Chain A
Amino acid sequence: MKRKGTYDYTLFFTILSLLGIGLVMVYSSSSVMALKRFDDSYLFIKKQALFSLIGIAFMVIYSLTPYQYLRKLSLPVLILGLMSLLMVWMPSIGTEIRGSSRWIKIFNLSFQPSEFAKLALILFLAHSLAKNHQNIKTFTMGFFPHFIITLFFILLILKEPDLGTSLNILVISLTMMFVAGVRVRYLLGVFSLAIPLTVFLIMGEQYRIRRILTFLNPWEDPLGRGFHIIHSFLAMGSGGWCGVGLGDGRQKLFYLPEPHTDFILSVIGEEFGLVGVIIIISLFLILIVKGIGIALRAPDLFGSYLALGITLLIGLQAFIHAGVVMGLMPTKGLTLPFISYGGSSLISGLVSMGILLNISYQRRT
């Protein structure tokens, strides 16, 4: 029944295209800022290029490693992921940047454990959901353990605080459970609990309320809270059909916050216009359709769930990033996978693509 497929070049080159566009856009959007803050306009592009090379190496290694091996490691990896989230709070290695403890620093290398934790959780859920396939409809075997593990992760990431990633993980986890066949009423139960909890969390933090209010009407305070999203709009609008040209965008010059990470799609929108935005959206859509196809044709349930989880991870994040810069969702810092600057998310993203490529390689026909 199993047969070795061919290497999925469409997927491979889609990823490379996104990486290439990412390198160019990181330079275009960060050079001015990098020169100002660090006196080196190449700072971010140099690091990003290095991360890309490391990431590609990881991707190739993982694509050649049968994913079934990972299954054996899923539990240790899960524990490692939880530990890394805890390490954020260790004074010697945890670093606080702008009020958030999202980074840890070992040997002068800082990375964001939540990026790896997400992957660890997906790996474990895929393993556990496949293992409990026969009892999936039960509360104790099908729903409860998966939900508790997810909750652990969410609570730890909430503590950082990073509400966005927490919600992202919740959606991925619930969707995986839904696909695996966990009773919908349990999942709806989680939702009915999560919604008031989210509202409570938002109300508890001034900045979150402001974000929501700003989202609802950014023009109310264009020079204050609405400044960022309005300048994202101005960037998109200035781009028009074909954009103002690479490097000629002006909103990235201190109008947009974090143009090389959280608002990189605005810069693309300004410099390459609607055409550029549609190309990016299309590339992600290819990736998603490919990922779903791989989930459908995976040789076993574990592979199927794993492929689905990875697709959700990348697809949702891309959707949220685009939604935020275009004002469809409240402002929150999420990067655009493969394109935004950031070593941790780039490497974990490419590792997950390596796994996806391997599942594809072993697909059924």
Chain B
Amino acid sequence: MNTNAKKWIRFRIYMVLICFLLFFTALAVRAFQLQVLKGEYLRTLAEKEYTGIIRLAQDRGVIYDRHKEILAISSYAYSIFADPTQITDPYSVACKLSAILKLNNRKLLNNLKKKRSFVWVKRQVTDGEAEEVRRLRIKGIHFLRENRRYYPDVYLACHLLGFAGVDAQGLEGLELSYDKYLKTKTGYSTAMRDALGRRIYSKIDFGGSRQGYDLILTIDKRIQHITEMGLKKVSQNTQAKGAMAIVMNPKTGEILAMANYPPFNPNTFLRYPPSVRRNRIITDTFEPGSTFKVFLIAGALEEGTVKPNHMFFCENGNYRIKGTSAIIKDVHQHGWLSASDIIKFSSNIGAVKIGQTLNSSCLFRYIKAFGFGEKTGIDLPGEVRGFINPPIKWSKVDKHYIAFGYGIATTAIQLLSAFSAIANDGVLMRPFVVKEIINKDGKTIKRFAPHVVRRVVSSKTAREVTSILEKVVEKDGTGRMAFLEGYRVAGKTGTARKAKSGGKGYSKDKYVASFMGFAPVEDPQIAVLVVVDEPKGVEYGGVVAAPVFKEITQKTMVCLNIPPQRVLMAQGKPGVLRQWISIIDGNGNKDDS
């Protein structure tokens, strides 16, 4: 009997074990159901809860120009919400609020009568409205500070700055490329808010949370404005499709101004198509045309295959390339020209002849050395490489076309960077837009120093090219309209036919007119590129773009406090100096001496 009883005890213990096994299997199945089968759904729910909170918590850093003038700032707008469970008399509350906030009384009343603990009354009200409602001290009416990105100068530097979305995330331009610095990192502290976004606990900081940093740009707000006005004027006068311009310090690569026309308003960016919001200076390429001859002559001089005074026969304006049917024409017919004059008069045939002194791989090496076909590395999003085929893929005519700037696609920023190397003694600098990142206390987080990419040509070559380019703006040069009294200017015009879209060949009436130059020659402070896309009527870079260059350069010289040299030397003519001072003062009074 004893052993029998013990058998039963053992049996019942096994029953307990089986129960446990069943229970725990149920647990595992439930865990699988919650974590894997319903996991995705629950995760989304949880994320929703957090992101709702994060959105209310965002605050972005300020973007300043180089003189700490504000370009983009985060401001707040109050939103009003109600907790209907706390409202005792919805009728009178609805009456009062609808009067102040100009809302539909009945709609508001319906909302206030809802059996919920949260309804919006009105979002992003003005400060005045918020103050008035606040003064009523109605129980159950609450305020929420919401973030809003604001660009006080509206169009100014819009393409450069880009814009931030409603959830304070950078979407374009600097707002995008420096998003991780600008945005406030909320880290763990975001989770320490309750379902209404109120801070439950703010003391803990796991190091992940911080205020957004501020950016100090290399941009000068005044020069940016000057540049944009210049572009606006030329675009409207020539009914151009668009225009762009860059002002850069050739010695450091600092961008002082960068503008596209037409502009857009980043405060209301959604109203503009993406094509208008794009910073075409870095995202779009074009065939540079004659401006490219600068790099050809630089390469030839550096290699020693050409001297500035070497004479070339320019075929009286009509030249068939040997062994092909390609005919190259000049605008004006020239006979014998020196290498220097080929640039001055921008002879395509002359350029082809200079190109013939270099072999293909050598020419290609210089093109690459100037930075074409590679990103410049500017700190803006969306930069493209441009396009240049390696010599192996060149057909018989390609090399000749490249010599005067066809068959190669460059961005505006590439073109000006390469050109700045001439102004900078032959050394290529990387262009950049952000000078410094600082925190809210003004402490430097990161400083960006000028970055040397490489030496492209010797300083002797750079000087030789400069003196050739200085002749371009002389009275009989193609760039004469860029001549600026009181300053030594070096530059080059460009007038390129646009390639027909989709097919081969070039358009007969669509041009890209450009001018690039730097000043003052003896100590270059700025390099400027102006590109006008499809001007109507006159298409020449020397006529369309050069005057814009002149205007931008002249006014920028004033901004940078660089007096006209020749005037200062000419002691006997104080009147001109006074005229210059009057420009600074902003009144255009003629002097009376």
Contacts and interface: CB of A to CB of B under 8 A. Distances in A.
Contact of B46 (A35, A179, A250, A273): A250
B408 to A, nearest CB: 50
A281 B24 contact: yes
A251 B20 contact: no
A319 B50 CA distance: 31
B26 interface: yes
Contacts of A175: 16
A278 B38 CA distance: 17
A241 B20 contact: no
Contact of A319 (B5, B23, B195, B201): B23
Interface stretch (B29-37, B63-71, B134-142): B29-37
Interface residues of B toward A: which range? 35 or more
A356 interface: no
Given A175-B16, A269-B35, A285-B24, A237 B45 contact: yes
Given A181-B5, A296-B13, A312-B16, A251 B35 contact: no
B440 interface: no
B331 interface: no
A237 B39 contact: yes
A240 B5 contact: no
A288 B17 contact: yes
A277 interface: yes
Nearest to A39: B203
A179 B12 contact: yes
Contacts of B13: 179, 292, 295-296, 304, 308
Nearest to B196: A223
A275 to B, nearest CB: 9
B57 to A, nearest CB: 14
Interface string A236-255: 11111100000000110111
Nearest to B42: A237
Given A181-B8, A250-B50, A281-B27, A237 B35 contact: yes
A20 interface: no
Contact of B39 (A239, A253, A308, A327): A239
Interface residues of A, number: 49
A237 B195 contact: no
A284 interface: yes
B192 interface: yes
A3 interface: no
A319 B17 contact: no
Nearest to A273: B35
Contacts of B103: none
A194 interface: no
Contacts of B449: none
Contact of A178 (B12, B21, B31): B12
B9 A274 contact: no
Given A274-B32, A278-B28, A238 B43 contact: yes
B23 A35 contact: no
Interface in A198-251: 223, 233-241, 250-251
20 contacts: A180-B9, A181-B8, A181-B12, A234-B45, A236-B34, A237-B35, A238-B39, A239-B35, A240-B39, A241-B35, A250-B191, A253-B192, A254-B194, A255-B191, A269-B34, A281-B24, A289-B17, A308-B13, A315-B20, A326-B30
